[in-house]
Amino acid sequence: MSKITQTPMSGVDLSWLRMDTPENPMMISSVLIFDAPIAIADLKRVLNERFLKFRRFRQRVVEKSGKVYWQDDALFNLDNHVHRRALPGNADKAELQALVSDLNSSTMDFRRPLWQIDYVDNYQGGCAVIMRIHHCIADGISLVRVLLSLTDSTPQPGLPKPRPARPKKAVLKPLNRWMHKAVSSAQVAGQQAGILFQSLRSEPGYALRLIGTAGDITLDLLKLGLMPFDPKTGLRQPLCGRKQVAWAEALNLNDVKRCAKAMGGTINDTLLCAATGAIRRHLLESNEAIPDCGIRVAVPFNLRPLNQPISELGNQFGLMLVSLPIEIDGPKARFQQIQNTMNELKRSYQAQVTYSLLDLFGRGPDMLERRALAMLSNKASAVLTNVPGPREAVYLAGSVQFGITVDQSIQACPNAIMDYFHNSFYELAAAAGIELETPAKPRAANVKTKPPRRKCKQPA
């Protein structure tokens, strides 16, 4: 009988595991909608060939003597993770969103690897695939790249290349293994020390730059600690665990690029500005006072090189707390303020500081981490993230779409917020003076709703 392998969980991944609560499960969810049905056997074949080559998807979380490990699941079976579902009759987008809301309101089975795929039959002539993966497994950037690895550039799937036989690795005895690690660590330390001393000798200003960098990091750490809590709005309510999910029709990427160019900014600046306008509109429609200082959102900042192949999963990103100027009415002025804020944050070490803090918290006592994370979470009202998708159409054995998840205790209709997002982008494009390739469609959110509390109708 082969020995079960255990791998210690990293501090950052452990932080994301500990953040998981019944009120706020730490899940990364995606909905893939396809124009044609996929045979369930073909889907499982692709998962076996491409998805499960990442060992982490075959491992479950175990705790032993106060430490947390990844352990191979001796009872792993793909059928425990792939479920087939059907929606009633000619189900539309609202019914699919209701199903995704149900799934996002439930927690994973910690007796098994922390991921699940739900295949939805006969959705609008095609099918849909709902994927949920726990955040402790990996960050959004790496998971999207894993998902894209399941697809092909043509409708005919490529045949898997035969794997060359791997030479058997020598089995090290415990003492030899420990000595090998010690020697390797000493060699790395020696190399790093050599690089440091060489830089000090060859560059007279290197020491001053090193001291300056350390000072900047310390200053960013102090700024983060002394940052006041975010203003109290309807976005900051105790969570109940019941989630509402919605997604919008995709914006034309060329329109977004042209708008960003006309405004002299980036695509991220443009989307953040549209999100800011949507949040402002939501608060106004709810008859809430707009905070004079705006609000902050946590924006993940990737620390993994995009050209680096994904050989191992895990979380490699920091968080930046971005101020959204929801108090500013005009889209141009909002854009300028966001651009200035983002440029300042990009020059800071805030992402690296928060990554290091998550790693430190994950290595410390559970109680200390929960208190520290509760303090940090009070400094922002929401999380905004975006990840790069495919540049061309792709096929699986469609398109990947992301939307919004709102806890039901927060009085906000996710579909209305999606409409506000579209309207906000159209306002910015009009202010930038560009003509859209995809003409703006009238959105339902233009109709005045009854304040202060608006409930989103849930499909039966």
Residues 69, 425: Cα–Cα separation, whole Å: 45
Q: Closest Cα to residue 395, out of 26, 32, 118?
A: 32
Q: How far is CA 435 from CA 130, 247, 268, 446, in A?
A: 35, 24, 20, 21
pLDDT of residue 176: 47
334 Cβ contact list (under 8 Å, min separation 6): 273, 276, 277, 325, 328, 428
Closest alpha carbon to 416 in 318, 281, 314? 281
Nearest in space to 230 (alpha carbons), one of 318, 326, 371, 300:
326
> Which pLDDT does position 78 carry in this prediction?
96
For the chain, the first-to-last Cα distance in angstroms comes to 51
Cis bond before residue 452 (omega within 30° of 0): yes
Per-residue confidence (pLDDT) for residue 349, from 0 to 100: 76
pLDDT of residue 172: 40
**Which pTM does this prediction carry?**
0.77
Closest CA to 300 of 418, 135, 414, 428: 135
Nearest to 128 by CA among 155, 93, 156: 93
- Alpha-carbon span 237 to 378, nearest angstrom: 11
Measured CA to CA, the distance from residue 71 to residue 161 in angstroms comes to 28
Q: What is the pLDDT of residue 388?
A: 61
Residue 216's pLDDT is 60
Phi and psi, residue 457, nearest 5°: -70, 125
Residue 135 to residues 16, 99, 284, 434, Cα–Cα distance (Å): 6, 21, 33, 39
Alpha helices in 124-266 (DSSP H): 140-149, 174-202, 206-226, 253-263
Question: What is the distance between the alpha carbons of residues 270 and 257, in angstroms, rounded to a whole number?
Answer: 9
Residues constituting the chain: 460
| Residue 400: other Cβ atoms inside 10 A | 19
The amino acid at 250: A
How many angstroms separate the CA atoms of 147 and 397, rounded? Answer: 13
Residue 35's alpha-carbon distances to 122, 128, 245, 347, in angstroms, are 10, 9, 22, 43
Predicted confidence pLDDT, tens digits, the chain (460 residues): 556 778 999 988 998 898 888 898 999 888 888 888 889 999 999 999 999 999 999 999 999 888 899 999 999 999 999 999 989 888 899 999 999 999 999 988 999 999 999 999 989 889 999 999 999 998 888 888 887 777 766 665 554 443 444 444 434 444 444 444 444 444 444 444 454 445 445 555 544 444 555 666 676 666 777 678 889 998 988 889 999 999 888 888 888 899 999 999 998 899 999 999 999 999 999 999 999 999 998 888 877 776 666 777 888 888 888 899 999 999 999 999 999 999 988 888 777 777 777 777 777 777 777 777 777 788 888 888 876 655 555 555 533 344 788 898 998 899 999 999 989 999 999 999 988 876 555 444 433 333 333 334 333 3
Residue 115 · residue 134 · CB < 8 Å: yes
The crossing angle, in degrees rounded to 10, of helices 267-285 and 253-263 is 100
SS3 per-residue string spanning 186-218: HHHHHHHHHHHHHHHHHCCCHHHHHHHHHHHHH
CA distance 418 to 275: 9
Q: Which helix (H) or strand (E) holds 94?
A: helix 93-104
Q: Is-contact 118 103, C-beta < 8 A?
A: yes
Could you count the other beta carbons within 10 Å of the beta carbon of residue 156? 9
b (16+ CB within 10 A) / e for 283-321 = bebbeeebeeebbbbbbbbbebeeeeebeebbbbbbbbb
Q: Does residue 379 contact residue 229 with C-beta atoms inside 8 Å?
A: yes
Copy the structure tokens of residue 420.
């506000």
For position 213, what pLDDT does the model report?
58
> Which pLDDT value is given to residue 362?
74
* Residue type for position 129: V
What residues contact 68, with CB distance under 8 A and at least 6 apart? 8, 9, 14, 17, 61, 62
